[in-house]
Amino acid sequence: MPDIEIIENADNAAIAEWFGQRLVAALGVAPQVAITVPGGSTPFPIFDILAGMDLPWERISVWPGDDRIVEEDHAASNVGKIRARLEPVGARIVPLALDLEPPHFAIAWMGMGADGHIASLFPNTDPQIDDPQTVRRLTPDPLPPEAPFDRLTLTMPALRNSDEVMFVIRGEDKRAVLDAAIAGEHDLPIARFLKSATGKVTCFC
């Protein structure tokens, strides 16, 4: 199990400030960096705050950790919503594709579902730490009713290929799943990831 820091009760502004500081630190040692970020509802208010910060976005490539297989202008598209917020300030947005090899990430920012899934690595997909592929097309089962679409997702090896990992997890039900994963009490995707992660993991809860 890696070094896990849990930060309680941080609001969106505090999370954005932390993330911005980590980006500045990463850019202090590399001319260009790549990050991966989640979709869903939680991160976009934080992206809005980040977009207003004085950061050298032209030096940052942003990859979604997963996406629904829909057109970018569809309401369910993660990359479309990420592009709308961060491309105008200069970031390079990179949609997922099966033939595109993800880079090493300075920061892998992830969310987690109440069923313990990360990115679109749902329990039914049986994600493996040593997956030979870095991007997969997957079908969640059951399909989430708010987004009933097949997905493209980074796999465990691609998400682990990062200098540090950050989670933003909201709600008591999700916190219980996280705590149980840290304690080794289940084998859901979040537990598999944390068990194999190296380096620093920061969880905002």
Whether this prediction's pTM lies above 0.85 is answered by yes
Please report the pLDDT score of residue 92 as a whole number.
Answer: 98
Average pLDDT over residues 24-33: 96
pLDDT in tens, 60-86: 999 999 999 999 999 999 999 999 999
Please report the pLDDT score of residue 2 as a whole number.
Answer: 73
Q: CB of 123 within 8 A of CB of 141?
A: no
> Residues 6 or more apart from 74 whose CB is under 8 A from it?
68, 80
Please report the pLDDT score of residue 1 as a whole number.
Answer: 67
H-type alpha helices, the chain: 12-27, 44-51, 78-86, 156-160, 172-182, 189-196
pLDDT in tens, 49-61: 999 999 999 999 9
**CATH no. of 3-204:** 3.40.50.1360
Name the percent of the chain lying above pLDDT 70: 100
- Average pLDDT, rounded, for the chain: 95
Cα three-residue angle 177-195-187, rounded to 5 degrees: 50
